[in-house]
Chains A and B, each alone.
Chain A
Amino acid sequence: MIAAARYELVMMLRRRSMWIVNGAIVLLLVLISVGQLRDVFHDRDAQLAMARAAFLIQLVLPIGYGCLLADRLIRDARLGVAPLLDATPAPAAGRLAGKYLGVCAAAAVPLAVVYFGFAALYAATAGRPVALAWAAAAFAVVIAPAVLFVGAFALAVPLVVPAPLFRVLFVGYWFWGNLISPAAMPTTAQSVLEPVGGYPIQELLGWHGDGAFNPAGPVPGASLNFLRPVASPATAWLSIAVLLAVAVLVLAGAQAFRARTTR
């Protein structure tokens, strides 16, 4: 597992497209959110500033890594490496877990560069070094669970649908499941199943949104409100646990599918 994680990380980090795609998305984010970023930058509360920055990053950056990770599992067969690896005594489940952790770690690197870069800039200009600690906390409870959730789907789903189709579906899902208002249509946005991490942002990092917008909790008149329990620290941890549990289930499904189809 460690070998697979290590070399998948290396291979992913060497992929030029990963840096180009992430760079382009960050540029886009800066262009469309320049006002909000300025507000964050001028927020004197380091905890809230880091929570808001995490929320902004979560809105669009996962689209990039979700699409980039889509070929990581299926490419073993495409490249012809799969028979060679399958003939080793290393358990297939361990290799899958290693691959998953490796590519997720690689996906997290550009996020960490952008987020901690922003946090460092904020800490230096605002004279609030504590922002770095809050950034680490936000990374652990908001960004990392999203990477693990998206990574599992990005590895597994292209086993059953072509990778380009997965990318299209994933972009659609991201906007539908995270960015659409629950009042407008049935969606998983603002629910415990939302990988943007509304519950931990609100309840663990203390940012309750702007104006009428709350990142988490029941939305009056919306459907699927059973997925939106009253926000509390417990439901925030529940949200993280649900995301990770779904990721594990998806990976287990991928492993079962591969075992059934490859032998």
Chain B
Amino acid sequence: MRIEIAGLTKTYRGKGPALDGLDLVVPTGMFGLLGANGAGKTTLMRILAGLLRPTVGEVRIGGYDVTTRTGRLAVQRVLGYLPQDLGVYPDLTAREFLDYVALLKGIDDRPARRRRVGELLDVVTLTADADRRLRGFSGGMRRRVGIAQALLADPRLLIVDEPTAGLDPEERIRFRTLLSELAGERTVLLSTHIVDDIAQTSRELAVLSRGRLVFRGTVEGLTKHAAGRVWTVVTSGPAPAPASGTVVSALPHDTGMRYRIVGPEQPAPDARPADPNLEDGYLALAQDAPLP
């Protein structure tokens, strides 16, 4: 399902625009949406999920105008949505909660619904805890319930907002793999501020800053943005303090500390150039057009 966004602005009462004239086309497949906290990602996700009305602008998903009631309903029939701040009913078990959401998604056939809920509990490895009340679930377990509910109706459009928050490393890897597998014929829109989640799953991405699009292209393209701007410095002395760069990492080394720095200028005479990665590209972009 192709998502076409044109001139999208969302202004909350008494605040500045959360989205400011956004133009973006998202093709079928996996697509990453990157941005700092407050960049407008969640507002965009909520508009796409039909939860918010844009102040101005057009949003079409699979040809449906989501600003109209009929368009919104058509999209919601094929939508799987995992909100950033996912909540659950503590008085229900995981199985009951999924059954409830499945009913709201129109899966009326009882045996089919039960089968689907069971499959998804298995996918998110919650089968053993399926009949426990959600009150006792950890944050990571609730997140997995959220992932399962998003997949209930075999969605053609999957919108996941910070999906790996609260997951342990193994769960994160498993979920990223699952998302990539799902993305074949579907559109999977992954919004995150965790650069590695995008690097491991998406070929194409967009970067938002202060409600505006500051990058739209491939992971390679954003990575190349940092070409010639990534350095490593090994020193036993004080940490380098580059005037216009950012220290990305500091790792212990045989002869001191190894610093990785992204910046337009060589941070120290003995600094060596290094190959950029996506995180470096994102930082380089932030240095060119400061992100919030």
Interface residues of A (CB under 8 A from B): 2-4, 7, 10-11, 14-15, 76, 79-90, 95, 262-263
In the bound complex, how far is the Cα of B85 from the Cα of A80, in angstroms? Answer: 6
* A10 surroundings in chain B (CB, below 8 A): 91-92, 96
Contact A14 B91 (CB under 8 A): yes
Cβ-defined contact, B87 with A80, below 8 A = yes
Q: Return chain B residues, CB-CB under 8 Å to A14.
A: 91
Interface of chain A: mostly helix, strand, loop or mixed: helix
Tell yes or no: B216 within 8 A of A by CB.
no
Report Cα–Cα, A3/B107, bound state, in Å.
11
User: What is the bound-complex CA distance between A79 and B88, given in angstroms?
Assistant: 7
Please determine whether A84 and B149 come into contact, CB atoms closer than 8 angstroms: yes
**Majority SS at the chain B contact face:** loop
In B71-130, the 8 Å CB interface with A consists of 73, 76-77, 79, 81, 83, 85-92, 96, 100-101, 103-106
B46 interface residue, CB < 8 Å from A? yes
- Assess whether A263 is in contact with B51, with CB atoms less than 8 Å apart: yes
| Interface size range of chain B in the complex | 20 to 34
Are B104 and A263 within 8 A (Cβ)?
no
Taking a contact as CB atoms under 8 Å apart, the answer to whether A89 and B73 are in contact is: yes
Is the CB of B268 closer than 8 A to any CB of chain A?
Answer: no
CB < 8 Å neighbour of B76 from A4, A76, A83, A87: A87
Please give, as numbers and ranges, the residues of chain B lying within 8 Å of A81 by CB-CB distance: 87-89
B53 on the interface (CB 8 Å rule)?
Answer: yes
- Let me know if B53 and A84 touch, CB within 8 A: no
> What CA separation (Å) do A132 and B90 show in the bound complex?
37
A15 to B90, CA, bound (A): 10
> B198 in the interface, Cβ–Cβ < 8 Å?
no
Which residue of chain B has the shortest Cβ distance to A94 in the bound complex?
A: B104
Q: CA separation between A169 and B106, bound complex, in Å?
A: 39
Besides A89-B77, A90-B104, 19 other A-B contacts (C-beta < 8 A): A11-B91, A79-B89, A80-B83, A81-B88, A83-B51, A83-B83, A83-B85, A84-B81, A84-B87, A84-B149, A85-B101, A86-B50, A86-B51, A87-B49, A87-B50, A88-B104, A89-B73, A89-B104, A89-B105
* In the complex, residue of chain B having the shortest beta-carbon distance to the beta carbon of A85: B104
Docked-complex contact B105 and A90, CB < 8 angstroms: yes
* Residue among B76, B88, B89, B92 making CB contact with A88, cutoff 8 Å: B76
A76 to B91, CA, bound (A): 13
Chain A: CB-nearest residue to B90:
A79
Contact residues in A for B86 (Cβ distance below 8 Å)? 80, 84
Bound form: Cα–Cα A2–B110 in Å: 14
CB nearest neighbor in A for B106 = A89
Determine if B106 and A7 form an interchain contact, defined as CB atoms under 8 angstroms apart.
Answer: no
* Across-interface contacts of B53 in A (CB, < 8 A): 263
Give chain B residues whose Cβ lies under 8 Å from the Cβ of A80. 83, 85-88
Judge whether B52 is part of the interface by a CB distance below 8 angstroms.
yes
A86 to B49 Cα, complex, angstroms:
9
B50, B79, B100: most-surrounded residue (chain A CB, <10 A): B100
A217 to chain B, nearest CB (A): 44
* Best-surrounded residue of B52, B81, B101, B105 (most CB of chain A within 10 A): B101
Pull 26 A–B residue pairs with CB atoms less than 8 Å apart, ordered by A: A3-B100, A3-B103, A3-B104, A4-B100, A7-B89, A10-B91, A10-B92, A10-B96, A11-B91, A79-B90, A80-B86, A83-B81, A84-B81, A84-B146, A86-B51, A87-B49, A87-B50, A87-B81, A88-B101, A89-B76, A89-B105, A90-B103, A90-B105, A90-B106, A262-B51, A263-B53
Q: Given A11-B89, A80-B85, A81-B87, is A87 in contact with B96 using a C-beta cutoff of 8 Å?
A: no
A7 surroundings in chain B (CB, below 8 A): 89, 92, 96, 100
Q: Is the CB of B101 within 8 A of A84?
A: yes
Q: CB within 8 A of B49: which of A2, A83, A90?
A: A83
Which of chain A's residues have a CB closer than 8 A to the CB of B104?
A: 3-4, 85, 88-90, 95
Give A15's nearest chain B residue, CB to CB: B91
Q: Are B51 and A87 in contact (CB under 8 A)?
A: yes
Residues of A within 8 A of B83 (CB): 80, 83-84, 87
Q: Give the residues in chain B near A262, CB-CB below 8 Å.
A: 51
Shortest B54–chain A CB gap in Å is 10
Cα distance A144–B83 in the bound complex, in angstroms: 38
CA distance A86 to B88 in the complex (A): 13
What is the bound-complex CA distance between A82 and B104, given in angstroms? 13
Contact (A87, B79) CB under 8 Å given A3-B100, A263-B53: yes
CA distance A82 to B86 in the complex (A): 9
CB distance from B206 to the nearest CB of A (A): 21
Chain B residues numbered 4-56 whose CB sits less than 8 Å from any CB in chain A: 46, 49-53
CB distance from A1 to the nearest CB of B (A): 10
Collect the chain B residues with CB atoms within 8 Å of residue A86's CB.
50-51
B77 CB contacts on chain A under 8 angstroms: 89
Instruction: Report the minimum CB–CB distance from B187 to chain A (whole Å).
Output: 15
**B94 CB to closest chain A CB, in angstroms?**
13
Closest to A12 in B: B91
A79–B85 CA distance with the chains assembled, in angstroms: 9
Q: Which residues of B contact A83 (CB under 8 A)?
A: 46, 49, 51, 81, 83, 85
A263–B85 Cα distance when bound, in Å, is 17
